[in-house]
Amino acid sequence: MDKKETGVQMQTLRRVLQDLKHDWFRLVLTLLLAVLTVALTLWVPILVGNAIDGIKGAGFVDFDAVTRILLTIGISVAVTALAQWVMSIVQNKIVYEVVEDIRNRAIERLEHLPLAYFDSHPTGVTISRMISDVDQFADGLLMGFTQLFTGVLTIIGTLIMMLRIHPGITVVVFVMTPLSLFVAAFIAKRTYTMFRVQAETRAAQTAMINETITNQKVVQAFGHEQLTMDEFDAVNRELETASRKATFYSSLTNPCTRFVNALVYAAVGVTGALAAIRGSISVGQLSTFLSYANQYTKPFNEISGVVTELQNALACADHVYALIDEAAESPDQPDALELQQAEGTVRFDDISFSYTPERPLISHCSIDVRPGQRVAIVGPTGCGKTTLINLIMRFYDVNDGAIRIDGHDLRDLTRSSLRTQIGMVLQETWLKAATVRENIRMGMPDATDEQVIAAAKAAHAHSFIKRLPQGYDTVISDKNGALSQGQRQLLCIARVMLCLPPMLILDEATSSIDTRTEQKIQSAFQKLMQGRTSFIVAHRLSTIQEADLILVMKDGQIIEQGNHESLLRLGGFYANLHQSQFAH
C-alpha cells in the first residue's frame, strides 16, 4: 500500500470517526462496558490461581476458601456475560444508526446530483455503492467495535498484571510481541489494496447484472445471450481473482498470529517452570501467568483479523463517501426568484451548449416564443431537440447566452418553482411501484379521486384502468409487464392532465400509442394547450401541423422556422422531411 493509498485510508478513517462523534454518549458507555468486561476477565485468573494455591496436597485443602473463590468466579462470569450482551446491543445501535445516516446522505446526494452524473456513471455501480459497499462497511465497523476496544484493553491490562506477578517472565512476553505486530502489519498493508480492487470489481459486476436484466428483451432479441455470458464470465473471473487474493492474504492473519502466540506461550511455560522450581513464583501464580499470557497474545490475533476487516470496510466506505462528495447540482442563487403562474414568454438569447467541451452541440441559438404559442421542434436524431428541452427544464445550464421565461433568466429562478410551471411528458415512461391512483397523483399529491378520474378520462386512460384487477387501486410498477408501453404512456399523460401547468413540454409523448388513440390524445392535447405555451418534440410531422411555430434543427442549429405552410413553400429541409413521410 503506497503513501497515497495510506493517506486516502486515513482520511476515510477520520471521516468515519467524525460520523461517530455525535453519538459520544453510547461510545463512552461502550468503552466503560469494555473496561468492566476486561477487568472481570482479568480478575478470574487471579481467583483461579488462588484456588489452586488453596489446594496444597492430599488432606490439605482449604474447602471454605476454594468454595468462596468458585462462587466469586461464577458471579464474575455472569456479570461479564451481561456486560458483553449490553455492549453488543449498544454497539449494534451505534453502527446501524451510522449506516442509516450514511445511506440517507447518499440518497439525498443522488437526488441533488446533476443529470450529467447519471449520464456518465453506470446505474449498477451506484446501486453497489448504496447497498453492497454500505453493508460491507457496517460489518467491518461492527467487528471493529466488538473486538478492537476489548482487545486493546486486554493487552494493556494483562501486561500490567503480568508485571505485578513476575517482571522477568513479562520481559520474555514483551520482547516477542513485536513479532506478532510485524506479521499483522505485513499482511494488513497488502489486504487494503486487494479489498479495494475487489469492491471496484464487484461494483462493475453489479452494473453489468443490472444492465443485462433491465434489457433482457433486447439481449434475447439480438441473440446476445452467449456474448453476454462470456462478458459476465470475464468480469466474474476478475472478481474471483480479486476476491481470492484478498481472502488468501486476510486468511493468513489467523494462522500466522496463532503460530507466534504459540511460541510466546511455550516461552512463558518454560521460563515460568524454571522460576517455579527456584521458588520465585507459586504454582497458582504460574497458572495465572499462563492464563494472562494466553489472553495477552489472543487479542493480537483478533485485532489482526479486525484490521483486515477494517481494511475492507474502509475501502467500501471510501466508495460511499466518494458518492456523497460528488459535486451537487449548482445551487439556486441566494436571491433566486419564485416563479408564480408563468405567462409563458420564452426567449433563447444567443445560447450555446455542449455536453463535453470538445464536441459543440448547440451554438448561438436564438428563439422568441410568445405566451400561448405551440412550438414544434423537428429534425433528425441527434440534432439537439431533447437537449433544447433539457435546457428549458434546467436539467443542464447553458454554457453561453441565457434562456429567459417572462424576462427572467432561468438561473435567477429556483428550479422547483420553474419545474412546477412546466408539465412534461417524455417518450421514456416511468412509473413507481404504487397504485395507479398514486402514480397519477405524483405531481399533485392532494388531488381528490374525482380529479384523478377526470384526468385519466382526459388522457383516455380511464377505460383500461377500470379493466385492471383493482381498478385505480391496482399496484403497478415500471417493469412488471402488467401494462403495455402505450398504457404506461397514457398514465404519464394523465399526470400532466391533472396538474394543468401553464407551460407544456411533449417529447414524443404519443410515440407508443396506436393511431386511433393518438388522434384522441391529440384532441385532448389541443384542448390542454389552449392558452399555454407548449413545446412539442415530434418525428411524425402529422402531429405538429397545427403548431404556431415549427423549429427545424440540424446539427444543433435552427436552420428553418415558421408555420407548416410557410415551411412547405420554402421548399427546404422541412419540406423534404414532409415529402419523405407523406410521399406515396
| Cβ atoms of 491 and 431 closer than 8 Å | yes
Residue 217, exposed/middle/buried by CB under 10 A (0-12, 13-18, 19+)?
Answer: exposed
253 and 184 Cβ atoms separated by less than 8 Å:
yes
Question: CA 253, CA 301: separation in Å to the nearest integer?
Answer: 7
HEC per residue, 271-298: HHHHHHHHCCCCHHHHHHHHHHHHHHHH
Indicate the pLDDT class of residue 305, thresholds 50, 70 and 90: low
Q: What is the reported pLDDT for 403?
A: 92
Task: Tell me the one-letter amino acid at 458.
Answer: A
Q: Which percentage of the chain shows pLDDT scores above 70?
A: 92
- Flag whether pLDDT at 576 surpasses 60: yes
Q: Give the pLDDT of residue 60.
A: 67
Residue 343 has a pLDDT of: 87
Alpha carbon separation from 61 to 66, 96, 262, 281, 444 (Å, rounded): 8, 52, 33, 20, 85
pTM: 0.63
**Grid coordinates of 279:** 521458588
- For the chain, the average pLDDT equals 81
- pLDDT tens, position by position, 252-300: 777 777 787 778 778 878 888 888 788 777 777 778 878 877 777 777 6
Do 445 and 480 meet the contact criterion of CB atoms below 8 Å apart? no
> Stretch 17-39: mean pLDDT, rounded?
82
Q: Where are the alpha helices (DSSP H) in 413-448?
A: 415-420, 436-440
Task: Classify 211 as helix, strand or coil.
Answer: helix
pLDDT at 35: 85
- Band of the pLDDT at 402, cuts 50, 70, 90? very high
Distance CA 265, CA 238 (A): 41
* DSSP three-state, residue 445: coil
For residues 204-231, give the mean pLDDT. 80
Helix (H), strand (E) at residue 490: helix 485-499
Strands 374-378 and 549-554: parallel
Q: Which amino acid is at 26?
A: R
- Please give the pLDDT value at position 56: 61
pLDDT of 556 > 80? The answer is no
> Dihedral sign, CA of 244, 250, 254, 259?
positive
Can you read off the three cell numbers belonging to residue 328? Answer: 451537487
Highest mean pLDDT among 18-32, 180-194, 558-572: 558-572
Sign of CA dihedral 107, 321, 141, 245: positive
pLDDT confidence tier of residue 82, bands split at 50, 70 and 90? very high
Q: What is the pLDDT of residue 14?
A: 80
pLDDT grade for 5, boundaries at 50, 70 and 90: low
Q: Mind spelling out the 3-state secondary structure of 306-328?
A: HHHHHHHHHHHHHHHHHHHCCCC
- Give pLDDT, residue 79: 92
The three cell numbers locating residue 225 = 445471450
**Domain ranges in the chain with CATH number 3.40.50.300:** 346-582
Cβ-contact 95, 134 below 8 angstroms: no
In this structure, which CATH number among 3.30.465.10, 1.20.1560.10, 3.40.50.150, 3.40.50.300 belongs to the domain 19-324?
A: 1.20.1560.10
Are 360 and 381 contacting, i.e. CB atoms less than 8 angstroms apart?
A: no
**pLDDT score of 405:** 92
pLDDT digits (tens, 9 = 90+) for 444-495: 888 899 999 998 988 888 988 999 889 999 888 766 667 877 788 888 888 8
DSSP state of 488: H
Phi, psi of 155 (to 5 degrees): -60, -45
* DSSP assignment letter at 343: -
Please tell me the predicted confidence (pLDDT) of residue 583. Answer: 59
Residues of the chain with CATH 1.20.1560.10: 19-324
pLDDT number for residue 582: 66
Per-residue pLDDT, 487: 82
Q: Provide the angle, in degrees to the nearest 10, between the axes of the packed helices 134-143 and 283-324.
A: 160
| Superfamily of 346-582 according to CATH | P-loop containing nucleotide triphosphate hydrolases (3.40.50.300)
CA–CA distance, 14 with 408 (Å, rounded to integer): 44
499 vs 189 pLDDT, higher one: 499
- 366 close to 349: Cβ distance less than 8 angstroms: yes
pLDDT at residue 4 in the model? 62
* Amino acid identity at 319: H
Q: How far is CA 270 from the centre of its chain?
A: 55
Q: Is residue 58 over pLDDT 70?
A: no
Interval 144-157 mean pLDDT: 77
